[in-house]
Structure 1
Amino acid sequence: MGNIILVGEKRAEIMNYTEKKYLKSLNWFRGIAIIFVVLTHVYPISFSDDTAYVVFSVFNNGTFYFVFIAGYLFWHLKDRFEYKTYLRKKIDFVVLPYIFVYLSVLILVSIASNFYELPWVVNILEPLKQEGIVWHMLVGGKGPNPPMWFIPMICIFFIMSSWIYKLSESKIFYFVFIVSLSFSVFSFRGPENIYPVYSFFHYLGVYLFGIACKKNERVIFDKASVMVTPMLVLYLIFTYVDVVTGFGAEKHVFFSIPTDISDIIVNYNQASKVFGALFFLSLFFLIEKKNEKADFKILNTLAEYSFGIFFIHWYWILVTREITKRLEFTQYNGIEFYIMVILTFSMSIISIKLLKRITGKKSRQFCGC
């Protein structure tokens, strides 16, 4: 009888967690995700070549976690899903900040290029042609803020959300999920990240992976203590293979149909993030299960400002890179990297706080948070 009561209490604990509107574990994970995104872009050039490649490989492709969390939260809020309302919110809180943060800089670059030699070309007079200002906004990746390639891609997910919702409710969901995730692991990003439609298919499996994990949240929460160690081991193994093979998510482009088994190229970096997502998810579930009052203030802060940090961190990377170069910190092994990381995060958050104070309740429409 006692065992029955314990089992009942355990089920109640799991059900209570999975019915929460606010998931602390996912918020912590968002904090981890933005750390990976920023550290990907603060390339560790002041380390030795070998160390730099290891650091880059470990933190590369933070986009995986962002897309995974997006899929997870999409299904977490499925009961509130209404297509037109959903799109309206995404326009307000994603598209408008994108226009504010990126279009204004593109215009400034176009004007400044008449007086200075800049590494970017922005053509206002022929906006639809390659390097035109509208073209830049539609592809996002080849301009003064390269991480913006993510926005045109994620907008396709927003547009396709009604189809994704119906797919996720259908009997073929897990089949499509497995096929899509397999494609994701055997494909690579396109050159310069200027192909949002291709990127959508490259990351579709990752988004569906997030949905699948939310669908099985009770199982993952219940088995978190069993999962956390093997997921960490597999994560480290695939990261190690990625480093050793020298591939990395940026070394190959697109997807080619292999004619021979020897032609098959695995995106080990992408594969490692599959296990990384399960590791972080089970780890945070385990922490929250053992201590409901557990809190990570730094991760919560990073999560709160994550979208704003995403939008502007590249500008601060450019500034801090110039500062460390002028101060000749590159002569000290690794110092430049640490300084750039600290300055990029701190200045991004300070900038966002300032913008939030200026824009008030409309801040999400300017900086996404």
Structure 2
Amino acid sequence: MVFLGYIHSFRALAILFIVAGHAIDFFTWPQDSADIERLLRIVMSNGSVLFVFIAGYLFQHLAVKYQHKKYFINKLKNVIVPYLLVSIPAIVVFVFFMTRETVWPGFYDNAPWQQVIYFYLTGFHLAPLWFIPMISLFYLIAPLLVYADKTRYFYWLLPIAIIVSCFVSRGLPLQSFVHFFSVYMLGMYCSHFKVQLNDKLSQKQVLVTLALFILGCVLYEFYMMAGTMTYVNYIQKIAMSAFFVGLLYRLGEKTNYKLIHTIANASFGVFFIHSYVLTASKMACEKLFGAKVAGSLLLYPILTLSILLICVAIIVAMQKLLGTRSRYLVGS
């Protein structure tokens, strides 16, 4: 199977967006920085779209050697088991010691064992972990997707799927599955036709056009819309996915740095643990300074890169300590 270096580099970039999106909430943003905060949320948040695109891309790329039993056992070991284990501290805290604001009304009227089940089924116990119940639905329909990839008309449905995604927002796992289906499908499409598409997407004029379109989406959402997780943001991140594929394919060996490969290899593990590291860092700063740190364009990138590199260091240490067994704990 051909190694896709540009997609491997994209994994490092995608996890940077995930960490950066969550790092915004580390700070308290003064009133005079409200526009900066909003702009950061528009550009850096919703990095899950990039992650799902890559998942679809790699799924189609590897579909040629797809085997039902092997595929499901691999996902069980490398995704579901780490999810179950990494979730334990957060679930213990939010079932027995604190309440979670993001759950629905009446959640805490249920018995503790039911709360545990609901947390596992929704991923609401920790900010990024809603992703796992949602992506698990893609694993369940993998045989259908392998079959659909071989049919003639499957990708003709892509424009309709994108329109559906614009009207169906994120929510509980099934709703999020519907929302993200189009970008997973887009990833599959870009992989299926990579021979034809990569040369086109990597052309300078196409990259400039995509960059201008992304900028237009950012400005439109900033000035014309309320909120930051709108359908325009989803379209922006879809365009960003295509842009990064073209850019990284064009750069080729120029992205062949050890640090990028290390971050990419640890990306799924970073996804699992970065919320814990961010929360611990936030609590430490609040204890040290007596309040949340005020956000700024100087501190924000420093914090984002620091959290990312700390998480990577933790994952690398666990890999050296536990070897391949580290996958059972953090998925990397």
Normalized against structure 1, the TM-score is what? 0.80
| 2:170 partner letter | R
Partner of 2:244: 280
Partner of 1:360: 323
Q: Secondary structure at the match of 2:113?
A: coil
> Offset at 1:248?
4.2
The gaps in structure 1 that reach 5 residues or longer are: 1-19, 252-266
Cα pair 2:28 2:294 within 8 Å, conserved:
no
> Offset at 1:360?
2.0
Establish whether residue 300 from structure 1 lines up as the match of residue 261 from structure 2: yes
Partner of 2:132: 151
Aligned length: 319
Corresponding residue to 1:34 among 3, 15, 19:
15
| 2:175 partner letter | Y
Q: What does 1:1-369 correspond to in 2, within 5 Å?
A: 21-43=2-24, 45-46=28-29, 48-111=33-96, 113=97, 119=100, 125-128=111-114, 132-141=115-124, 143=125, 145-190=126-171, 195-223=172-200, 224-225=202-203, 226-250=205-229, 267-288=231-252, 292=253, 294-325=255-286, 326-327=288-289, 330-331=293-294, 333-369=296-332
Larger fraction in helix = 2
Cα pair 2:221 2:232 within 8 Å, conserved:
yes
1:309-348 Cα offsets, whole Å, 9 max, x none, are 1001001111122233333673573454244323321321
Q: Secondary structure at the match of 2:146?
A: helix
1:250-295 Cα offsets, whole Å, 9 max, x none, are 46xxxxxxxxxxxxxxx1000111211111111111111xxx4651
- Structure number with bigger Rg: 1
Cα pair 1:317 1:340 within 8 Å, conserved:
no
Normalized against structure 2, the TM-score is what? 0.88
Cα pair 2:29 2:295 within 8 Å, conserved:
yes
1:215-237 Cα offsets, whole Å, 9 max, x none, are 22112222221421111111111
CA–CA distance in 1 between the matches of 2:108 and 2:271? 22
> Offset at 1:176?
2.4
Structure 1 residues 200 and 333: CA distance shift in structure 2, 3 A: closer
Give the aligned CA root-mean-square deviation in angstroms.
Answer: 2.3
| 1:209 partner letter | L
Cα pair 1:189 1:249 within 8 Å, conserved:
no
CA–CA distance in 1 between the matches of 2:12 and 2:100? 32
CA–CA distance in 2 between the matches of 1:31 and 1:49? 29
